[in-house]
Amino acid sequence: MENKMENSHEITSAELKQAKGRSLAQETWRRMLKNKGAVIGMIFMILLIIVALLAEFIYNYDTDIVAQSASSSFSAPSAAHIFGTDQFGRDIFARVLYGARYSLLIGCGSVAFGLLVGLLLGSLAGFYGGFIDNLVMRANDILYAIPNILIAVVIVSLLGTTPLSLLLALSISAASSFARIARAAVMQIRGQEYIESAYAMGLPTWKVILRHIIPNCLSPIIVQVTLAIGSNIIAASSLSFLGVGVAPPMPEWGAMLSDSRQYIRSAPWMCIFPGLAIVVTVLALNLMGDGLRDALDPKLKK
């Protein structure tokens, strides 16, 4: 029996969804598809991943990527070489496509690793508070004080200029930001009443975490993952550009740009295309990330 004096019954969006028989994931997916930018971004990323996977089969590393040919060096873009050739006569188009492997590997790998570590530490800090929280937060503050690039410098000095050390270095900063987000999300949810009622029902702690807390933290984390991959790809290429990341002759996009800097006057195409590849990739990721953010919380868009 409703007393109609106070408020008319406001139906929450969650109830509406339930009424329509869709889960949150399906709703989010549906909204994503409406966003043209996000769809373009997703399609591009799928294509890029396919290219990166197939590159190993289409091109032979030794003959196509690093072999030098003085005769065809410094050719401008043409039908034979869509992006032109570099100072060693290597086809830039092939190198750019192959280079996608490094960017995706380092970008996704560092975020995946950072996510695992960061989520774990952040959730523990947020959930238990006290000493663990203090420890994690102090460590985080220290990492925060050191700019990304300097951490990378230190780690790369220790481990050498390989993709792995770059991945490790970037994982650290990724872990730091995920820990922060996870901690904030967990702390906020922990205080909610439905958690108290879950305990009151007799659910053990681990079940409360698994069933109630983690699913509700996911939205900010999912958005951050997409955006973090993009910013880590930029970071990786920046570090390679400075000579603190992947080194030539590996066709990592940043390393390619570092190499081609000196030829900018005579062969500008060498500097244009690898950078363009970075821009387009990160753009696609940002479109996806923005689309995800809008889809997960449509109120923000309005």
Q: Which residues bind to other proteins, rule: CB under 8 A?
A: 1-9, 141-142, 145-150, 153-155, 157-158, 230, 234, 237-238, 241-244, 254, 257, 261, 264-265, 268, 271-272, 275, 278-280, 282-283, 285-287, 290, 300
User: By C-beta, is 217 or 256 nearer to other proteins?
Assistant: 256
User: By C-beta, is 155 or 198 nearer to other proteins?
Assistant: 155
Spatial neighbors of 232 by CB under 8 A, at least 6 apart, are 106, 107, 110, 111, 170, 174
User: By C-beta, is 217 or 239 nearer to other proteins?
Assistant: 239
CB of 59 to other proteins, least distance (A): 24
CB of 281 to other proteins, least distance (A): 8
CB of 156 to other proteins, least distance (A): 9
CB of 272 to other proteins, least distance (A): 7
User: By C-beta, is 70 or 300 nearer to other proteins?
Assistant: 300
Read off the tokens for 262.
């000196």
Contact status, residue 215 vs residue 242, Cβ threshold 8 Å: no
User: By C-beta, is 9 or 71 nearer to other proteins?
Assistant: 9
CB of 10 to other proteins, least distance (A): 8
CB of 127 to other proteins, least distance (A): 24
Read off the tokens for 229.
């991959």
What distance in Å separates the CA atoms of residue 242 and residue 257, rounded to the nearest whole number? 10
CB of 103 to other proteins, least distance (A): 11
Contact status, residue 169 vs residue 156, Cβ threshold 8 Å: yes
266 Cα distance to chain centroid: 35
